[in-house]
Amino acid sequence: MHDQEHFEFHCLYFYQQKNNIVDELEAAGIQVHLIPSSNLGLFFQVRKVRAFAKELGIDIIHAHLPWAGILSRFVGNKLNIPIVYTEHNTWDRYNKVSYWGNRMSFKNQDIAIAVSNEVALSMQLNSMIDPYKRGGRMKIKVIQNGVNTEVFRRMSDAGCRMSDADTSLRGGSTTPKQFDLNITPSNLRPKDKLISSIGIPPEAKVIGIVAVFRDQKRLWVWIDLALKILQRCENTHFLLVGDGEWRSRLEKQIVESGKSAHFHLVGVQKQVIPYLSLMDIYLSTSEFEGLPIAMLEAMSCEVPVVSTRAGGIGEVVQHGVQGFLSEIEEYDELADYCIELITHPTLHQRMATAARKRVVEHFSMKRMVEELEGVYDSVIGRIETTKTFTN
């Protein structure tokens, strides 16, 4: 969606091996470069990144998260390249090394972007050593996450768009490739066949989530809530899309509950739209968040949200309009809200419609891209072609 006549994008990422999202970035016209490295190893990559930026004539560096931010500030200030930094989480969630490295180098950038107001407040409170950027303007700007609402639409009962390979348990991104957007007979899969392959009865209500299985998501609480919901709504099934360190413990918890037939862990899916289209409710039990893109994608697919009021979630979901919210630790309320939506179909339909409307009007990728391009222009001034890379 970026203006590629005005901006030439290079994505530089640090990992031990090629990431599955590379193909999608390249399909979108972005040049992708890998420098194998761990977080701590980034300190040894400064010269390499500096040479990379000089060779390509990079005009702006846009970094995401603390480690890439710290590295970019070293590189950008040496080469006098403007630095844009996006923060996706509140600072109290980082370890001490990330926290202090980020804080001590924070002044050496041109603008910091927060994905939610809560993240912005966290940055303001923790960067008081230099709350203004070079030139006297405020360092922090809120640009909330957005999703492609033209792509993320609910699949009809007639079919879910996916190939047979898409049901494999493999890594990937939640963003469909550009060339997957056309529905043809070869990639149209009837909804009843998809739910049958997963093991969900056609008439069942489905509560789901798309997430990395880690502590932050509190998925053991998610499973407990599911079991409470089953006591009242026996024909409910639970769909978990994703993977992570908690998977084996969650599987054990499910087996011990004696309700394994109601739980479906389908792994990481390259295309999540078919799975979001099976969900009636998106349930989140997170302890903390920035502004979760997976939730925005679900809402764009007309899935009402029941969630803790973690991070920026309360900036998106209006309680009682697009879903229901509870305070963190008030988990029992979430089960009650799910039951209310299951047992009141008119309320559910109203919230489903409102969920998509909310994202289309306020959290579209088009809006986010326009705001980002405005930031780029503000830090460098408009020129005929601007090269930028993000890491």
Per-residue pLDDT tens digits for 302-320:
999 999 999 899 999 999 9
Say whether both 128 and 168 belong to one domain: no
Cβ atoms 331, 309 nearer than 8 A: no
* CA angle (301 as vertex; 276, 332 as ends), nearest 5: 65
Domain count across the chain = 2
Greatest Cα pair distance, the chain, in angstroms, is: 64
Helix axis angle for 345-362 and 331-343, nearest 10°, is 110
Q: How high is the pLDDT of residue 309?
A: 95
In a domain, 153, yes or no: no
Judge whether 67 and 42 are in contact, CB under 8 Å.
Answer: yes
Domain check: are 334 and 377 in the same one? Answer: no
Its domain, for residue 292, covers 160-362
What pLDDT score was predicted for residue 95? 85
Q: What pLDDT score does 213 carry?
A: 96
Same domain for 189 and 103: no
Considering the domain boundaries, does residue 257 fall inside one? Answer: yes
E strand or H helix at 198: helix 191-198
Residue bearing the bigger pLDDT, 387 or 220: 220
Residue type, 55: E
Residue whose structure tokens are 């900036």: 315
Higher pLDDT, 183 or 81: 81
Same domain membership, residue 183 and residue 205: yes
- Domain identity same for 36 and 141: yes
Q: Are residues 34 and 114 in the same domain?
A: yes
Claim to verify: residue 127 and residue 190 sit in the same structural domain: no
Instruction: Name the band, by pLDDT with cuts 50, 70 and 90, for residue 135.
Output: very low
Is residue 106 domain-resident?
A: yes
Residue 193 has what pLDDT? 76
The structure's pTM equals 0.80
**Residue 151 maps to a domain:** no
pLDDT at 380: 81
pLDDT tens across 141-182, in order? Answer: 999 999 999 999 998 754 453 333 333 222 333 333 332 333
User: In terms of pLDDT, which residue wins out, 61 or 24?
Assistant: 61
- Residue 23 within any structural domain of the chain: yes
Question: Would you list the DSSP string of 86-106?
Answer: EE-S-GGGS-HHHHHHHHHHT
pLDDT of residue 388: 59
- Whether 152 is in a domain gets the answer no
232 & 317 share domain: yes
The pLDDT-based confidence of 386 (bands split at 50, 70, 90) is low
Q: Is residue 205 part of a domain?
A: yes
pLDDT in tens, 29-73: 888 888 888 777 777 888 899 999 999 999 999 999 899 999 999
Residues 117 and 182 in one domain: no
Task: Specify the CATH number for the domain of residue 291.
Answer: 3.40.50.2000
Whether the per-residue pLDDT at 131 is higher than 50: the answer is: no
Q: What is residue 14's predicted lDDT score, i.e. its pLDDT?
A: 84
The top-scoring range by mean pLDDT among 155-169, 186-200, 218-232, 369-383 is 218-232
- On whether both 253 and 374 belong to a single domain, the answer is no
Query: What's the mean pLDDT when you consider all of the chain?
Result: 84
Answer with the residue of higher pLDDT: 382 or 46.
46
- Are both 205 and 309 inside the same structural domain? yes
Q: How many CB atoms lie within 10 A of CB 52?
A: 18
* Residues 91-126 pLDDT 10s: 888 889 888 988 889 888 889 999 999 999 888 888
The pLDDT value given to residue 165: 31
1 lies in a domain?
no
Same domain, 170 and 296: yes
